[in-house]
Structure 1
Amino acid sequence: MKIESFSGTVNGVEVHRVLLNEPNPVIKLDTKGLSPSNPPPLEIKEDITVGKEKLGIAVQKKLGVKERVLGLGERTYEMDRRRATFNLWNVDVGGRYTWYTDPMYKTINFMMTVNDDEILGFLFNSPSKGIADIGNLIYDKITVGFVDKKLEFLFFRAEKMESLLEALSSIVGKPFMLPEWALGYQISRYSYYPSSLILDVIKEHEKEGIQISALYLDIDYMEGYKMFTWDRDRFPNPKEFIKELHGMGVKVITIFSPCLKLDQKYRPFKEAMGLFVENENGEIYVDDMWPGKCAWIDFFSTEARDWWSRKTEEWVKEYDVDGIWTDMNEPAVLGKGTFVSAYHDKTPHTLLHNAYGLLEAEATFRGMKNAGKEPYILSRSAYNGIQKYAVVWTGDNVSSWEDLRLQLSLALSLSISGVPYVGFDIGGFSGREEGVRGGRDYELLLRYFQAGLFMPLFRNHKSKGGEDQEIYLLPEPWRRRIKEVIGLRYDFIPYLYELVREAHEYGHPLLRPLPYYFPHDNNTYVCDEFMVGKDLLMAPVLEKCTNKRRVYLPEGKWAYLNTGEIFEGNDFVSSPDDLPIFVRYGSKIELRERTITFNENGFKIELKNQYRK
């Protein structure tokens, strides 16, 4: 085995870069400034079997008796990853998932561990199939390994989680600057059509006093589900339709799929000849997706990415769309999960798989930018670096009380893994079509909206078989209560946008698990409450038939937003109502019309001068 090691400091954090067997990673990291050195004290093994998985190479470290392990992106587990094994392999989970579903849509190969005296970070830059075992199959060790026999990995040592994430973003790449409009209330459906009905949907929201910031068009806007087309029966004049939506203050986001229908009369397919994923014999890899038999763009080809970028630019310019929603980009194949025996310029797909959606996002982002738009990409799949190009959401969740709690865990896990722009389908994407009754549980719908109040992505999305949950269709008091949440969301956009700037400049997440600031407090390793920036603590109500909940407050003073009541930390308290939001001592928070301060002069909420009568 050949081992090369380099070390140095990045943003004040100790960083080691290790190259095993001369890798040439498809995703490049910014490691300039590191100098040759001895490797960190970790075990490296070749040709190791972990459980049923045969790995080409693996990295191991001892798991301390009190060591906490966080991160690894989208994992349907508790925050502390101890005693679990995770497959590093992006998949389409097939319409629903629950607690402990593994693998999921995204693979983020970054984790951090917390001991009494230090915080360590580990970034594995391999998009190949792999496994992460956190003291489960091998009780006393953390083992991360891959099918590929070559590996680049980084080891970090920091005093704070925040400085660790700053160093991570300096190396992997800073989050893109999310447009401010993207923080508003967004609506989506599989699928809204025709165009005349969509305009009526927006008008009904306007009657309720609800501003829709963005509308998503799912696959039914296309002709036969073919990319770069419109169904002219449903959307007879898409340019005028989008122009009218823009006049109502609504942005338009169209869904993209990474494959093209095999059709010799279909122009994009003919244009893309030579740019497709292949099989072992060098023939076009063909499989099933929404249009029927399809070929997939090979995003590991520079030429293919450039072609996709140009097609995106043309699409955005011609129709003036404001964002692209990249779906089915794990990549997904109907009935099979993903590719079977596919190749990229003779490299087996299994060695590159997890980066497929990332490279699609990069090409799409570039196309939007070249079209003169502020790029906005929403991606289902992800790999290390997705934050440079896209927002992510947690896929096809199922409406239920258990899912409500799970969505917080997923959002926080992604956030602490260097992916700050996250969200979930409010109300749950799937419902009765999956045999789950929940669509008419209005209390649950309210709790989804409340839990999503500070999510970077605030989107109401539902499947075809799900019951309607547009606000204007809801009975009272649920309609009024949910409208209040949406109004509060708009009030907090100035604060959230400042957190977006912070993410863009420093790599800080908007949502921060309590250990982010209080890593040595055992009571903070929970997924049902979290910090929003440094100034707010949110603890949504997640149980049925209750308007209060028990909340743990870490050290310090905290003021309850709705009442101004002040609490001392290091204690459990009962929330005064069903929207538990606490303001941290020393805070000054700018809202749309008000300013919140909590300091030595007490807790105050004051109208800004321009709004005073």
Structure 2
Amino acid sequence: MFLGQTVESREPDLRIPLLEAERWWGGAVDDAAHQPYGDQDFSRDLAQVHPSEDGAGAPSNQAAPILVSTRGRSVSSDRPFRFAFTPEELKVWGENLRFVGERPASPDASTLSGQTLAAAFMDLAENVWTPSGAPDRALFTGPQYNTWIEMPLHPTQEKVLDYVRNMLDCGMPPGVVMIDDLWARDYGSWQFDLAAFPDPAAMVRTLHEWGCAVMLWVVPFVSPDSFEFRELEKAGYLLKDEHGQTALRRWWNGISACLDLSNECALKWLKEQLDELRRSYGIDGFKFDAGDVRDYRDTDQTNGLSPVEMCEAWGKFGTNYPLNEYRACWKMAGAPLAQRLQDKPPTWDERGIGALIPEMLTQAMIGCAYVSPDMIGGGEIVAMTAAGGIDQELFVRYAQIAALSPMMQFSVSPARVLDEPAFDALQKALNLRERYLPYLMELVEHCATDGTPIMRPMSYHDDSLEAAQCRDQFMLGEDLVIAPVLTAGATSRKVYLPAGKWEENETQQVFEGGQFVEIPVVLDTLPIFESVKE
């Protein structure tokens, strides 16, 4: 297990003195609270997982053996590595390490003039991974509607149709509908529970007529003692532990067997099940949950695959389906996968809304560009239930972040929980997304071709220390600065603007860049600054 600040005692394979004002992004999205690295002590072993109270390890987000610097340097590998930062240096232990950048005798940043985060990132996109397209464009062009919070563990055909109809009737645009956990009879039985969904084909036809694509939730788990368990165990398609016995693993819904993702026949079986859902009912795609590194052991019998490679195999499987979503991935930079953040609680701190921008920027800097900031208002079901109600201001601010993120996903029905002023503020955010959607889709197409990130840290286009330390705002392409309000009851927002001239979206006031500016805000304010071309 990952134990925090420990580092193995042998000498590092790379020792890199940090440059003046240099900051680094990358590694694991789980560690975004510490990013950008470079101003404090921090260490991480990318082959391990964070601990959890149950001892199984915490569920994970995206991770990759990639570190990239605001001074045009990078470290990467095809294997997980261990690294440690101090304010003076970066040390790396690992195999097949690739270091790009200069190592000047002095940490004076001027010795690396002209070397940028953008240049280092594009070197990685050209030489370390291969951009291979984007997921289905429907994931960007309309909202995503996930049933999880409104009907956790008990979706039915009637509830799904009512949920979507209510969304559309209150003025929300059509989008992608994700039917979440327990639409099937058992885990591993990827067939509709006909007691809850008596006519799945009719349901899908109706949703299609309403302009909505349909996705189903899938995990690589198999319920013990089910018919599928017995058949898959007999066929040798289930993961075996070090003793050659079928491995049973605890996850958030109990204890299950695991499909052996290192077995090509097992993957072929799963693809047949999912393809049959598409043929029989018109299902458009799938939400691939779980597949976390914590679900596997180094001692498992996996045809030589390590735990991170089993997670990677789960991600690769999803490339069979253009309409997809993942939460846990290893080393899938450049892949055409929609990548969601880990479930968030409905809080204002760095576990909740404060985590969204740093985590999405970390996703972007490890090559996972097609990101979603979880379900608007929060998707962590225990915390959402315990909250006992919706903080309307938090919901609106969350929606404003999502509105100018690559993807926007709802679960809680806005019309059910928002009063008129809050709902009007939400509609304004949706209108802003519609206004900038052509620009966003241009960025998606560029990313699909050459890997250029959609969301970018401020330091991607500005080499100042002020930009390097910004983690509560972002750039959408090179022409928009997005600075959502992240504080409860805020009446103003301080924003850093890169060099040049920038026009504030609402007032059309033009500001000189290279400085912080402060603007007044109310509930419906989403600060957006557009580059003014000379």
Normalization by structure 2: what TM-score? 0.85
Q: 1:94 to 1:379 in 2, by over 3 A?
A: farther
Q: Distance in 2 between matches of 1:488 and 1:50?
A: 41
Q: 1:354 to 1:538 in 2, by over 3 A?
A: same
Q: Distance in 2 between matches of 1:475 and 1:416?
A: 38
Q: Distance in 1 between matches of 2:202 and 2:385?
A: 40
Q: 1:573 to 1:288 in 2, by over 3 A?
A: closer
* Alignment-derived partner of residue 124 in structure 1: 77
Q: 1:92 to 1:255 in 2, by over 3 A?
A: farther
Deviations 1:214-258 (A, max 9, x none): 111111211134431212111111111111101101111111111
SS in 2 for 1:219: coil
Shift of 1:111: 0.7
Q: How does 1:576-591 map to 2 (within 5 A)?
A: 576-577=520-521, 578-586=525-533
SS in 2 for 1:574: strand
Q: 1:317 to 1:389 in 2, by over 3 A?
A: farther
Q: Distance in 2 between matches of 1:547 and 1:50?
A: 38
* Alignment-derived partner of residue 477 in structure 1: 421
Q: How does 1:388-403 map to 2 (within 5 A)?
A: 388-402=335-349, 403=352
Q: Given the alignment of the two structures, is residue 430 of structure 1 paired with residue 380 of structure 2, yes or no?
A: yes
Q: 1:554 to 1:288 in 2, by over 3 A?
A: closer
Of 21, 36, 39, the match for 1:80: 36
Q: Does the Cα contact within 8 Å between 2:83 and 2:93 map onto a contact in 1?
A: yes
* Alignment-derived partner of residue 130 in structure 2: 173
Shift of 1:474: 1.7
* Alignment-derived partner of residue 261 in structure 1: 223
Shift of 1:515: 0.3
Q: Which deviates more, 427-436 or 220-229?
A: 427-436
- The one-letter code of the counterpart of 2:73 is L
Of 143, 151, 173, the match for 2:91: 143
Q: Distance in 2 between matches of 1:219 and 1:188?
A: 10
SS in 1 for 2:15: strand
Gaps of 5+ in 2: 102-113
Q: Given the alignment of the two structures, is residue 70 of structure 1 paired with residue 70 of structure 2, yes or no?
A: no
Structure with bigger strand share is 1
Deviations 1:275-303 (A, max 9, x none): 33222233332334578653322223344
Q: How does 1:344-423 map to 2 (within 5 A)?
A: 344-345=302-303, 347=304, 352-366=306-320, 368=321, 375-402=322-349, 403-423=352-372
Q: 1:95 to 1:388 in 2, by over 3 A?
A: farther
Of 84, 109, 115, the match for 1:133: 84
Shift of 1:438: 7.9
Q: Does the Cα contact within 8 Å between 1:72 and 1:108 map onto a contact in 2?
A: yes
- The one-letter code of the counterpart of 1:287 is R
Deviations 1:152-194 (A, max 9, x none): 2322239333333333223312042232211111121323622
Q: Does the Cα contact within 8 Å between 1:423 and 1:457 map onto a contact in 2?
A: yes
Shift of 1:420: 0.5
- The one-letter code of the counterpart of 2:316 is E
Aligned length: 502
SS in 2 for 1:276: coil
Q: Given the alignment of the two structures, is residue 532 of structure 1 paired with residue 488 of structure 2, yes or no?
A: no
Shift of 1:318: 2.5
Deviations 1:31-63 (A, max 9, x none): xxxxxxxxxxxxxxxxxx996454899532233
Q: Does the Cα contact within 8 Å between 1:222 and 1:229 map onto a contact in 2?
A: yes
Q: 1:236 to 1:435 in 2, by over 3 A?
A: closer
* Alignment-derived partner of residue 459 in structure 2: 515
Shift of 1:568: 0.7
Q: Does the Cα contact within 8 Å between 1:89 and 1:103 map onto a contact in 2?
A: no
Of 143, 154, 159, the match for 1:197: 159
Of 433, 441, 456, the match for 2:406: 456
Deviations 1:515-572 (A, max 9, x none): 0011234344211111101110001111111242111112100011112111111222
Shift of 1:133: 1.1
* Alignment-derived partner of residue 40 in structure 1: none
* Alignment-derived partner of residue 108 in structure 2: none
SS in 1 for 2:462: coil
- The one-letter code of the counterpart of 1:242 is V
Q: 1:315 to 1:470 in 2, by over 3 A?
A: same
Q: 1:268 to 1:506 in 2, by over 3 A?
A: farther
Q: Does the Cα contact within 8 Å between 1:455 and 1:511 map onto a contact in 2?
A: yes
Shift of 1:482: 0.7
* Alignment-derived partner of residue 19 in structure 1: none
SS in 2 for 1:483: helix
Q: Distance in 1 between matches of 2:316 and 2:528?
A: 36
Q: 1:487 to 1:564 in 2, by over 3 A?
A: same
Q: Distance in 2 between matches of 1:523 and 1:291?
A: 42
Gaps of 5+ in 1: 1-48, 369-374, 462-467, 587-599, 601-613
* Alignment-derived partner of residue 204 in structure 2: 242
* Alignment-derived partner of residue 500 in structure 1: 444
Q: 1:484 to 1:144 in 2, by over 3 A?
A: same
* Alignment-derived partner of residue 15 in structure 2: 61
Q: Distance in 2 between matches of 1:573 and 1:290?
A: 45
Q: Distance in 2 between matches of 1:455 and 1:274?
A: 42
Q: Which deviates more, 563-572 or 433-442?
A: 433-442
Structure with higher RCO (Cα < 8 A, 6+ apart)? 2
Give me the identity figure in percent. Answer: 22
* Alignment-derived partner of residue 28 in structure 1: none
Q: Does the Cα contact within 8 Å between 1:189 and 1:217 map onto a contact in 2?
A: yes
Normalization by structure 1: what TM-score? 0.75
Shift of 1:202: 1.7
Shift of 1:442: 0.6
RMSD: 3.0
- The one-letter code of the counterpart of 2:23 is R
SS in 1 for 2:443: helix
* Alignment-derived partner of residue 595 in structure 1: none
Shift of 1:321: 1.6
Q: Given the alignment of the two structures, is residue 286 of structure 1 paired with residue 239 of structure 2, yes or no?
A: no
Q: Distance in 1 between matches of 2:331 and 2:447?
A: 16
Q: Distance in 2 between matches of 1:330 and 1:165?
A: 26
SS in 1 for 2:63: coil
Q: Does the Cα contact within 8 Å between 2:222 and 2:258 map onto a contact in 1?
A: yes
SS in 2 for 1:245: helix
Q: Distance in 2 between matches of 1:230 and 1:266?
A: 14
SS in 2 for 1:279: coil
